[in-house]
Structure 1
Amino acid sequence: MQTLQDRFGRRFSYLRLSLTEVCNFRCQYCLPDGFRGSKRGFLTVPEIRRLVRAFAELGTFKVRLTGGEPTVRRDFTEILSAVAGTPGVERVAMTTNAYRLAKNAAAWKSAGLNAVNISLDALEGESFRRITGDRRFAQVMDGIDQALAVGFDSVKINTVLLRELNDDQLPAFFDFVRNRPISLRFIELMQTGDNQPYFQRHHVPGSRIREKLEAGGWQPVRRGPAAGPAVEYAHPDHAGHIGLIAPYAAHFCDGCNRLRVTARGALKLCLFGNGSTDLRALLQDDDQTEALKSHIMKALFEKPPTHFLHQGRVGDTPHLASTGG
């Protein structure tokens, strides 16, 4: 079997596949004015099936469905079944704002979903509304409870750390995982093409969280083979973990193991890179698999060793919903 390996020896077993650029929330750091653009032209189910099959034949065994908000697609369950049923795919996850999770968690688990990451930037309704532009806080919390109840392999919370908006709530976030077997990961706010003033006002260095964790007796947890970029910490008095995703930290990209495909079929080698490789023309027929795999392997040779966020170079990503985060 061919394997996805770049010229720096990094292996790519993890595909982040965006299903749509549309999101029904208006998070301040991503889409404060809501989605603007065409809501059509996203990859179809047959195209997705061919894409995932090619990646699986190249050694990818974990697929994360992202957006936008992936569950705004009416055919989400069909997509989920197609991905989960692909030979070689061992783990299917999704990142969601959880507005549909409470009602659908059991059905999605039956369709093959193994893990969910839920965006949650506040632990009370008014702060949630201020950050996300949405009032469905209770609905999201119900979704978290239901995700735990149906028994997904993994339930994680993604919290973007924001100065003056939620950074004063760290004790409450730590307490949230005291009795819940959840990994709550603080994500350092990242600069994108259209959020520079917001970034400058609200960015909190990941080192601040690391210092608080270490001072509070939290200890790093060993990473698994398909783990994402989070460094996770455990505490003997907590059922859950706290994670930290700090893209501005030194050597953040050394262990990169994922590639991204946008909702319109473009391969992005780096979330904060420039340019992409169109794969869609090679997703139109089952007989194109070998050509598609060769195209992916050739493109991977151009993957840079690191992003350049620390130099203020954010690439051509206008906002995270455009590429699936």
Structure 2
Amino acid sequence: MADRHGRTFPYLRLSLTEACNFRCGYCLPDGWRAEGGAGFLTLEEIRRLVGAFAAAGMWKIRLTGGEPTLRRDLTDIIATVAATPGVRRVAMTTNGALLARHLPRWQAAGLTALNVSIDSLDAGRFRRITGHDRHGELLEGIERALAAGLESLKLNAVLLRGLNDDELPAWLDYVRTRALSVRFIELMRTGDNGDCFDRHHLRIDLWEEQLREAGWTLRPRVPGAGPAREYAHPEYAGTIGLIAPYGRDFCAGCNRLRVTARGELRLCLFGEFGVSLRPLLQADDQREALIGRVQELLAGKAASHALHAGRTGLTPHLASIGG
């Protein structure tokens, strides 16, 4: 799959649910509330969707939410995706609340890569940001994931001015002996978080300068990688990634498409429209039509998002599509 800008797309981010059990101030400060409309994609619909995308060349599938671990059939979903011909990496992004309890079964089902959201190494700050006092459980789950031997383990932290923007030294100590990647994500404006964005947005360039001054060097981007600029240091087991959505040429390396939990294709996280693929997920004989429809829509993919102009598109909050 390719667009008219010369970008290819081996990577699908598939949301399994819009629900989340955290109340992060930059995303769902009042918690998730169910809305009416069609239900979330069924296991059979997910099987057909992933099968079609894999047949068209996509080999990396990331399961997102909301919080994907709230799906009771998550283990079956992982197994279905992992068994799809052509899929080489099955990844998941989670808040980690259930990680310590369920990781072995997810890994046995075929999970190969994991991203865990943890916005602070300080328990009090974590509680203030997320609305939950589960910091200890989360750290325990991360240690178990380290020991589990996954192909990839990454931690995600949203950089928030006045809340966690002084924690770089603590994170560097954390990755000194842990072979994982910590990625700092610049806060993005969405339809619902304008006030939070104005209070807490901070450009990530400052941290990049600090890393370079401390001897960290930029690593080459590997196939199928996300948008992070990854830095390494010979004295550290882990790496540091920086995701700067407001940075120059951020969209030039775009390599992923998104499908919402209700089956809507989004060409961009901050796109102005979505197209439902669900009518083409009701029978196995619709695969070619589904692939053709996606390729047709890709021809209209924009070169860049419009965040710089203050346009956040359809995304009310990141839980609605999984970031």
Establish whether TM, by shorter chain, passes 0.5: yes
- Give the letter aligned to residue 238 of structure 2: G
Residue of structure 1 in register with 2:293 after alignment: 295
State the 1:101 CA deviation.
0.8
Residue of structure 1 in register with 2:61 after alignment: 63
State the 1:125 CA deviation.
1.3
Residue of structure 1 in register with 2:30 after alignment: 33
State the 1:222 CA deviation.
0.9
Pair 1:106-2:70 in alignment: no
Match of 1:216 among 203, 214, 217: 214
* SS class of match (1:159): strand
Residue of structure 2 in register with 1:24 after alignment: 21
* SS class of match (1:155): strand
Residue of structure 2 in register with 1:166 after alignment: 164
Residue of structure 2 in register with 1:82 after alignment: 80
**Superposed CA offset, 1:126-146 (max 9, x none):** 111000001111111111011
State the 1:285 CA deviation.
0.6
Per mean C-alpha deviation after superposition, the further-off stretch among 183-192 and 293-302 is 293-302
Pair 1:128-2:102 in alignment: no
State the alpha-carbon separation in 2 of the partners of residues 126 and 202 from structure 1: 18
State the alpha-carbon separation in 1 of the partners of residues 174 and 11 from structure 2: 29
Match of 1:206 among 200, 204, 216: 204
**Superposed CA offset, 1:237-283 (max 9, x none):** 11000000001000000010000000000000000111101100110
* SS class of match (1:242): strand
State the 1:163 CA deviation.
0.4
Residue of structure 2 in register with 1:95 after alignment: 93
Unpaired segments ≥5 residues, structure 2: none
State the alpha-carbon separation in 2 of the partners of residues 37 and 268 from structure 1: 21
- TM-score (normalizing by structure 1): 0.98
- Give the letter aligned to residue 84 of structure 2: T
State the 1:37 CA deviation.
2.1
State the alpha-carbon separation in 1 of the partners of residues 35 and 153 from structure 2: 32
State the alpha-carbon separation in 2 of the partners of residues 41 and 292 from structure 1: 20
Pair 1:14-2:31 in alignment: no
State the 1:173 CA deviation.
1.2
> How many percent identity over aligned positions?
60
- Give the letter aligned to residue 89 of structure 1: V
Residue of structure 1 in register with 2:152 after alignment: 154
State the alpha-carbon separation in 2 of the partners of residues 187 and 30 from structure 1: 13
**Correspondences of 1:149-298 after superposition (within 5 Å):** 149-298=147-296
RMSD across aligned C-alpha pairs, in angstroms?
0.9
Residue of structure 2 in register with 1:311 after alignment: 309
- TM-score (normalizing by structure 2): 0.98
- Give the letter aligned to residue 9 of structure 1: G
State the alpha-carbon separation in 1 of the partners of residues 272 and 108 from structure 2: 38
State the 1:236 CA deviation.
1.3
Unpaired segments ≥5 residues, structure 1: none
**Superposed CA offset, 1:57-115 (max 9, x none):** 11000000000000001000000000010000000000000111111112111110001
Residue of structure 1 in register with 2:40 after alignment: 42
Runs of 4+ in 1 over 4 A off after TM superposition: none
**Superposed CA offset, 1:289-323 (max 9, x none):** 11111111111111100001111111121000111
* SS class of match (1:249): coil
**Superposed CA offset, 1:23-78 (max 9, x none):** 00001100000001238700000000000000001100000000000000100000
Question: How many residues were matched structurally?
Answer: 322
**Superposed CA offset, 1:146-202 (max 9, x none):** 101111111100000000000011110111101000100000000000111110110
- Give the letter aligned to residue 275 of structure 2: T
State the alpha-carbon separation in 1 of the partners of residues 16 and 292 from structure 2: 23
* SS class of match (2:166): helix
